[in-house]
Structure 1
Amino acid sequence: MCGIAGIVCGAFDHIPDRALLECMGQSLAHRGPDQAGIYTGVGIGIVHRRLSIIDLTHGRQPMVGGEGRWVLSYNGEIYNFRELMQELSELGYSFEGHSDTEVLLQAWRAWGRACIDRFIGMFAFALWDNETRELHLVRDRLGIKPLYYGFTREGDFIFGSELKALLVHPGLARDLDPLAIEEYLALGYVPDPRSILKQVNTLPAGHTLCFRPGEMQPVAQRYWDVDLSKQHDGDEQSLMESLRERLADAVRLRLIADVPLGAFLSGGVDSSAVVALMSETMPSAVQTCAIGFDDPAYDESPYSRQVAKHFSTDHDELIVHAAGHEMFDRLAEVYDAPFADSSALPTYAVCELARRRVKVALSGDGGDEIFGGYRRYRLHLSESRVRELLPLGLRKRLFGTLGRWYPKADWAPQALRAKTTLQALARDTVEAYFHTVSATPHTVRQRLYSTRFRSELQGYSALELFREHARHATTDDPLRIAQYLDLKTWLPGDILTKVDRASMAHALEVRVPLLDHRVVEWGMSLPTARKIHRGESKYLLKRALERDLPSEIIYRRKQGFSVPLKQWFRGPLTEPFEKVLQNSALADSGLFDMDEIRCVWREHHTGMSDHGTVLWSLLMLNSSLEHLVRYPAYTASHDTLARPLV
């Protein structure tokens, strides 16, 4: 895994400042501590930081090929590179080593952009064509690897694996994007294609971008999407066997490495399945690691220990406690943009733990999204059945009224907390699902925003993003629509961002076999009844794994990788948040009505309501704003270099 960055000059005859490029590369040193490389030419500068995983001797980047025509800087892994190398060799292309970087470069020479369709893997890369003077940016199908791009005040086009590489450029304005703030508060992350800054975009998953110097608005082009119009079924036994074969092949491909390799093990179905399939293939014990909590209600470590014992893995674990204030600053440095998924804390910790013994780790991420594992999917299906019985107009009048008047009883037993369900029944499928996944509800966001900021938004709601994605969902099945929305927003914006930044902060490569695009396409085409059957989530996946895993692991209640925010904000996080209320970047931003934030804080702290997620979102936003202000840009007169993350 690696870090990439670069500059295409607005002035055609300029050569980028090499010291500036070094500075951009230094900001990504944590992603690639093994090697550094720079390429400069007329109008172009590309920098690379390498984490050596395959072919440790060769594969240095930026890699130049085609007699100097092509320059490649690549972050990722192409798992079927050996098969592609054989095919390219038969076509007459030669190789100096056995790295997938060289295969990528030769594949582009042979097949052009169409080569992407042949790749099985995770990747984000920049390819400069010295002949046509075009820069090609490419991101993998699911968005496992990140890629940012934007323009400076002087018209330079800049790109990088993380936002911090762009922040290094002194010409980048750091103006906040108000629409991104709204989307962040709604979802807990900034979804593609925005970033927290107006001048910077994220290349969406499954897209390419071709930039030609002089262009002001390059347009990203989609090259892959899940076709929801396809649906297949069959007898259960055949489907189970097919699924297990696909998973086994995806895991096998991801065991190729020239460095120590292991796995994350939470004790849930997905990570346990990956470890089971690794144990079948690997000649020695699988290295596994897990995180637990000092609060038993959130601690899954007994289950991970049970699975580790079942497969005789070499297991390591760590117990996580409430973090101190310094950890918030650390998360802001790791994620750059605000990121409110509280499981970033244990994810960061498990990556640190894994890196002590391995350089590559496999994870079970993606299983819930592809095979229907979230509790919210079951609820969405149940609500959809009710919505189908009554027309929208009647539902709005009936359930909308009940939802407005029903109290938000956070203190009450689960069965009496009906407000969210009533509100969902009054909405259409897309709005209802958006309401379900919102970290901060619309009414709370409007309550917290300042009058000035509401004016800047001009009525924009993050719901519009969901509606835009839903227009591409070629199905009316409510579960598949919800899964598709997650594939476009939650998966790349939250889950994969969380794992990429936490792992790369420790120079650890994480591979996600359940997000092999062939598994995704096959899994998404399954009928809803094969995913959720008689209230059982991930039905087919669980049935397929019954021969591998103990029943009590497969069919135990899903717990999740969350942290006890409600309790933490009534305990160890009290002091950090009270500092935010007194004097902070959040208070100075003008985005919020601080009196309303104090009111929400009192409601939570006194036990009147559970605002733990909202308060965490605000705390993370404050840390991110402070990070964006203080992160140093390059200055030639003082030869200032960006601070490395590690």
Structure 2
Amino acid sequence: MCGLLGFLTADVATDEVVHQVYEALQCGRHRGPDERGTWHDEHIILGFNRLSIIDIEHSHQPLRWGPPESPERYALAFNGEIYNYLELREQLTAEHDAQFRTEGDGESIVAAYHFWGTEAFSRLRGMFAFAIWDTETRQLVIARDRFGIKPLFVATGPGGTAYASEKKSLLELLGPLGLSRTIDVRAVEHYTVLQYVPEPETLHADVRRLESGCYATLTPGEQPKITRYFEPRFRVRPFAANSAEQRYREIADVLRDSVAKHMRADVTVGAFLSGGIDSTATAALAIQHNPNLLTFTSAFEREGYSEADVAAETAEAIGAKHFIRMVSPEEYAAAIPEIVWYLDDPVADPALVPLYFVAKEARKHVKVVLSGEGADELFGGYTIYREPLSLKPFEYLPRGARKLLGKLSDRIPEGTRGKSLLHRGSLPLEERYYGNARSFSDAQLRSVLRDFRPEWTHQDVTAPIYARSRGWDPVARMQHLDLFTWLRGDILVKADKMTMANSLELRVPFLDPEVFAIAEQLPYEQKITPETTKYALRRALEEIVPPHVLHRPKLGFPVPLRHWLRGPELYDWAAGQIAESQTDHLLNKAAITAMLEAHRTGTVDHSRRLWTVLVFMVWHGIFVEDRIKPAIEEPTYPVRL
């Protein structure tokens, strides 16, 4: 796990630009505090911050590799882990007599690219963002893993193209690229609706993201050519008679294999544990490979109950040594500027903060953790996926009748029982579902955003994705949409950014191509029933997960945000942010203040809406106003844990 930064010049790499790249690497020092280095030739500068996990004494980057006749033809900078690198090395040696000089996974990427071309990317089982420079063809290829576990930002201007794991590093290079820090107002509106900035956008108009499952080829002086090499498709295979138990065993077996490969490391591997089924399954399978497994959770004490109790009970049941990090409201508020700095773009998910603190605690003991991200998207874990069942009767109504019901729902007062059901039942799936993040109504958006444009909607993001899933069952379409929106916009961003902020590598065994190959075949009734979610997964884990966890709802790291924003914990902090923020040209601060006061009196719960705008205000204070200056310390950790 590491941090990349590279600059492909339109002309010639001057000493000044080489120096600027080296200095900009400092912004991503937390991603790789063990080593920092650069390599360059006349066209490209490759920069790298390394967090040593595999082949610690060797596999230094930027890494040079080539066939015997040209042993340093390629230069690689690579962030992530390739879990099948041993199998790839064996195959490449047998088929092509490939030769390797290290014991790491990086050489397997370059050798695979040399012999198989870009088709090699589909053979990589892992998480990655990497850049390979071919010194003979003078061509650069950058690529990102299937699901977007690892980030990769890109900026192209008259001076060339730069890419990085950290957007803040690219911001330091916009000058040499001939670009500016102009804010993308359309992305601001998308963020306010979705609570994250959807790919490929960022809040800076001149910086984009290479999307998950894509690679780009670049030649000096030309625009990047982007190609999608992976499109997740749910190819449902109905259960045959008497085949259910076999299919459940297949799920269990592929998860065992995935966790086993995700345990490959030359350092200690631990696990996050919330007490829910996903993290428990991951930890329970991991402990089979490391009987001394360490698990970690964070929690808040409130109303006489703590989620830490659930996770501790689960850790005891599977035999793990458990660590709990309690987070106070004061710590929560104080950490927000630092967390937003690490994020690069705002993500209005309150669970970011406890994740940051549990990662900080885990880094005292381990260098790698496993986690359960992705299980909900692959196996149908969100309660909202059950909505097509409840709305099924509406499908039998003519389109005109459904529109009339929608108009009727508009006349029903807010808060009236049945209003939401009528409204959502009147809409087709493409209009009513765009992920787990909706918080603002159109009327609320108009009051909050200065430059609200009704033509900029969630459908800018979702319509092209829905177009690729026509004919699928509604649950599969919702899962497919979430893979491109909520998963890579919120879940994986917070997982990567909060762990990397603490120089901790996070691995996600559910987001494995072999696991997906099984999950994509499940019919909707094996994912969603009127009583539960993730039905097939729960059945598959009956012999793995303790009974007290098996049917417990998803927990995550719940945050008492609604309560804190009404009391001394966060109200004063929130009011101060609104007063001091210089976002009047973008946000209607009077409307936001009114929202805060209405929330404080308890007349309505505005906590998620408030959190969305407050996180944006902090982001703006850091990256635009230069008003908020987070105290970012130089990371210092022992190499081995």
Distance 2:407 2:552 in 1: 35
User: Could you say if the C-alpha distance between residues 556 and 343 of structure 1 is closer, same or farther in structure 2, counting changes exceeding 3 Å?
Assistant: same
Name the CA distance, whole Å, in 1 between partners of 2:499 and 2:396. 47
Describe how 1:46-65 pairs up with structure 2 within 5 A.
46-65=46-65
CA distance in 2, matches of 1:167, 1:443: 34
Cross-structure match for 1:377: 385
- Cα deviation, 1:150-173, whole Å, max 9, x if unaligned, reads 134x43311100111101225141
Structure 2 residue identity aligned to 1:94: Q
Paired with 1:145 and 1:381, the residues of 2 have a C-alpha distance of 35
Matched, 1:618 2:613: yes
Asked if residue 275 in structure 1 is aligned to residue 283 in structure 2, the reply is yes
CA gap of 1:557–1:63, structure 2 versus 1, over 3 A, is closer
Q: Give the Å deviation of 1:606.
A: 1.6
| Cα 1:13/1:616, change in 2 over 3 Å | closer
CA contact (8 A) 1:4 1:75 kept: yes
- Taking the aligned partners of 1:643 and 1:12, their CA distance within structure 2 comes to 35
SS of equivalent residue, structure 1 residue 513? coil
Question: What's the offset of the Cα at 1:296?
Answer: 4.7
2:413 pairs with 1:407:
yes
With 14-23 and 163-172 compared, the bigger mean Cα shift is at 14-23
Contact 2:190 2:456 in 1 (8 A): no
Q: Does 1:222 align with 2:228?
A: yes
CA drift at 1:224: 0.6
Q: Does 1:398 align with 2:405?
A: yes
Shift of 1:231: 2.7
Distance 1:401 1:602 in 2: 31
Determine the structure 1 residue equivalent to 2:579.
582
**After the TM superposition, which residues 438-587 of structure 1 pair with which residues of structure 2 at under 5 Å, given as runs?**
438-450=438-450, 453-454=451-452, 457=453, 459-571=455-567, 572-587=569-584
Contact 1:378–1:535 (Cα < 8 Å) also in 2? no
Query: Higher mean Cα deviation, 141-150 or 603-612?
Result: 603-612
1:158 aligned onto 2:171: no
User: SS of the residue aligned with 2:433?
Assistant: helix
* TM superposition shift of 1:585: 2.7
> Judging changes above 3 Å, is the alpha-carbon distance between structure 1 residues 645 and 250 closer, same or farther for their aligned structure 2 residues?
same
Counterpart CA distance in 1 for 2:436 and 2:265 is 40
Instruction: Give the equivalent residue in structure 2 for 1:639.
Output: none
Q: Is the 8 A contact 1:434 1:466 kept in 2?
A: yes
Greater shift in the superposed pair: 513-522 or 557-566: 557-566
Offset at 1:270? 0.4
SS of 2:404's equivalent? helix
* Matching residue of 1:265: 273
Taking the aligned partners of 2:304 and 2:407, their CA distance within structure 1 comes to: 34
Q: CA deviation at 1:240?
A: 1.1
Q: CA deviation at 1:644?
A: 5.4
Which of the numbers 178, 203, 208 marks the counterpart of 2:210? 203
1:70 is aligned to 2:77: no
Q: In the alignment, is the contact (CA less than 8 A) between 1:263 and 1:289 conserved in 2? A: yes
Match among 368, 373, 376 for residue 365 of structure 1:
373
Q: Aligned equivalents of 1:241 and 1:538: distance in 2?
A: 15
Tell me if 1:134 matches 2:139. yes
Q: Corresponding residue for 2:112?
A: 107
CA contact (8 A) 2:142 2:216 kept: yes
Corresponding position of 1:638: none
Q: Deviations over 1:575-601 (max 9, x none)?
A: 1221233221323xx112222222222
Cα distance change of structure 1 residues 500 and 43 upon mapping to structure 2, 3 Å threshold: same
CA displacement, residues 541-574 of structure 1 (integer Å, 9 cap, x when unaligned): 1111122233221112333433122111101211
Shifted more, 168-177 versus 336-345: the winner is 168-177
CA distance in 1, matches of 2:25, 2:220: 22
Residue aligned with 1:345, SS = helix
**Superposed CA offset, 1:244-298 (max 9, x none):** 001000000011110011101110000111111112232x321111112112587
Residue 621 of structure 1: SS of its match in structure 2?
helix
1:288 aligned partner: 295
Q: For the Cα contact (< 8 Å) 2:277–2:552, is it kept in 1? A: no
CA distance in 2, matches of 1:386, 1:448: 36
Q: Deviations over 1:290-310 (max 9, x none)?
A: 112112587322221111111
**Following TM superposition, by how much is the alpha carbon of 1:134 offset from its aligned partner in structure 2, in angstroms?**
1.8
Deviation readout 1:93-129 (Å, 9 max, x if unpaired): 1111110011111111111111111111000001112
Match of 2:639 in 1: none
The answer as to 2:322 corresponding to 1:315 is yes
Give the TM-score normalised by the residue count of structure 1.
0.92
CA deviation after TM superposition for structure 1 residue 431, in Å: 1.3
Q: In 2, are the aligned partners of 1:142 and 1:517 still within 8 Å (CA)? A: no
Give the number of equivalent residue pairs: 620
Note the C-alpha offset of 1:392. Answer: 2.9
Q: What is the distance in 1 between the residues matched to 2:387 and 2:354?
A: 27
In the TM superposition, residue 520 of structure 1 has moved relative to its aligned partner by 1.6
Tell me which amino acid in the other structure corresponds to 1:241.
Answer: R
Deviates more, 1:12-21 or 1:622-631: 12-21
Which of residues 124, 129, 132 in structure 2 aligns to 1:124?
129
Query: 2:189 is matched with which residue?
Result: 182
1:82 to 74, 77, 86: 86
Deviations 1:445-487 (A, max 9, x none): 122111xx13xx4721122211111111153311011000000
Gaps of 5+ in 2: 637-641
Look up the match of 2:41.
41
Cα distance in 2 for partners of 1:479, 1:278 equals 30
Residue 412 of structure 1 corresponds to: none
Q: Distance in 2 between matches of 1:339 and 1:306?
A: 31
CA contact (8 A) 1:229 1:475 kept: no
| Per-residue deviation, 1:436 | 6.1
Residue matched to 1:96: 101
Cα separation, 2, equivalents of 1:298 and 1:125? 44
Asked if 2 retains the 8 angstrom alpha-carbon contact of 1:58 and 1:97, the reply is yes
CA distance in 2, matches of 1:424, 1:598: 30
- Given the alignment, which residue of 586, 594, 605 partners 2:589? 594
Look up the match of 2:338: 330
CA contact (8 A) 1:424 1:436 kept: no
Distance 1:2 1:127 in 2: 15
Q: Relative to structure 1, is the Cα distance of residues 174 and 521 closer, same or farther in structure 2, using a 3 angstrom cutoff?
A: same
User: Which secondary structure state, in structure 1, belongs to the residue aligned with residue 583 of structure 2?
Assistant: helix
Give the letter aligned to residue 551 of structure 2. Answer: Y
Q: In structure 2, what is the Cα distance between the partners aligned to 1:418 and 1:213? A: 59
Identity %: 34
SS at match of 1:447: helix
Structure 1 residues 591 and 348: alpha-carbon distance in aligned structure 2, compared to 1, 3 A threshold: same
Moved more, 18-27 or 484-493: 18-27
Secondary structure (helix, strand or coil) at the match of 2:106 reads helix
Task: Tell me the residue number matched to 1:413.
Answer: none
CA distance in 1, matches of 2:400, 2:303: 45
Which residue of the partner structure matches residue 171 of structure 2?
Answer: 167
Distance 1:65 1:472, change over 3 A: same
Go from structure 1 to structure 2 and tell me whether the alpha carbon gap of 1:59 and 1:125 turns closer, same or farther (over 3 Å shift). same
State the Cα distance separating 1:391 from its structure 2 match: 2.7
**What is the alpha-carbon distance in structure 1 between the residues aligned to residue 420 and residue 436 of structure 2?**
8
Pair 1:240-2:248 in alignment:
yes
Distance 1:400-1:525 versus aligned 2 partners, 3 A rule: farther
Q: What runs of 5+ residues in structure 1 fail to find an aligned partner?
A: 410-415, 633-641
* Cα deviation, residue 645, structure 1: 7.2
9-18 or 507-516, which deviates more: 9-18
Deviations for 1:310-361, whole angstroms, at most 9, x for unmatched residues? 1211111111222454322111111021110111011111111111100010
Tell me the amino acid that sits aligned with residue 581 of structure 2: S
Contact 1:333 1:645 in 2 (8 A): no
